[in-house]
Amino acid sequence: MKPVVISGTGLFTPSLVITNEELVASYNAYADLQNTKHAVRIAAGEVDPLPHSSVEFIEKASGIKQRYVLEKEGVLDPHRMKPRFAPRADDQLSLMAEIALDAANQALAAAGRTGAEVDGVLCAAANMQRAYPAMACEIQAAVGASGYAFDMNVACSSATFAIEQAANAVRGGSAKRVLIVNPEITSAHLEWRDRDCHFIFGDVCTAIVVEAEEDSRSADRWRVLGTRLATQYSNNIRNNAGFLNRCEDTDPDARDKTFMQEGRKVFKEVVPLAAAHIQHHLADLGFTPAQVRRYWLHQANLGMNQLVVKRLLDRTVDDDIAPIILSEYANTASAGSIIAFHLHHADLQPGDIGVICSFGAGYSIGSVIVQRL
């Protein structure tokens, strides 16, 4: 098959930061307000009081110390507890397309390309700003690309699933050069009022250029040796927001209309799935886990990542083998493994092997095995 490379990546990082200290103060103020409001019912044993959160709880549970967000005041307002975004007219660039354009331009510059040289655009993210027209079509127009564009959603695995689609498109000749963007405005679908998950996500956007090796001109190229995708249905990570809600006469602000998870079940079930997936993918390409110079894993939970790699290598490793960006970025859904790759690949040498792997709702797992040229 025609060799395909990742020839450029980009990263848009919002300018606003919410620290754990700020987040805990906001959540605890919200909890106090709710407990006061429902004091009679709490005293009667009808409902349980909302417990306080703490910095220690967050960092022990996740390894997260802060997160970047597109809007801060609304999230930290105990009377609101969600971002406050200004609506935009239909003829204005949407918020999701705006951050995608920033990351896309970085990736194109890294690849030595312009938008006019792209003939395929994939917008792959956990949630889209709207149903249609496709976000990818708007981004395609914004970067000046031709060809086709479409959206795809495989939750936190969207980026790696998109890399396989892009690589296959280039190999098959349906596109010469594909731009993948992963605009994750996770602050809008996180339930900031839930102690068990209010700290998990942050906003960001990554971008990737995939093209034929023979046509690439970047000095920083990674040959895609193989891709592998797998799904296994599970309800343990779910979001029920959708266009049918208005026809069901349900509360659009109900708890199930934002991110929900059974965290312990997810940890217990996904770790062995992800480790086995990577191990089998490597074996089918003739590699052992020990031959991999670096693992760029989905950034959901520090303990989860550490255990996946420990299962593969039978030892604990440091950031040199499996970089962690959670403490700064938090969980950024599909963008997490791409952030890790973008920030932590420059020191690798020609011939080094790496694994980009994401895992999340679905369950879905996508792995991309690459080699530095």
Report the catalytic residues: 156
CA 338 vs. chain centroid, Å, equals: 8
- Residue 20 to residue 23: CA distance in whole angstroms: 5
* Rounded Cα gap, residues 130 and 301, in angstroms: 28
> Identity (one letter) of the amino acid at 319?
D
> What is the crossing angle of helices 135-143 and 95-111, to 10°?
50
Ranges assigned E (strand) in 190-311: 204-212, 222-231, 237-238, 260-261, 294-297
Nearest to 337 by CA among 155, 169, 198: 155
357 within 8 A of 274, measured Cβ to Cβ: yes
Peptide bond into 233 cis (omega under 30): no
Residues in the chain: 373
Query: Which token pair is 193?
Result: 């009022």
Give me the helix-helix angle, 158-172 and 336-343, nearest 10°. 70
User: Nearest CA to 167 among 256, 255, 228, 91?
Assistant: 228
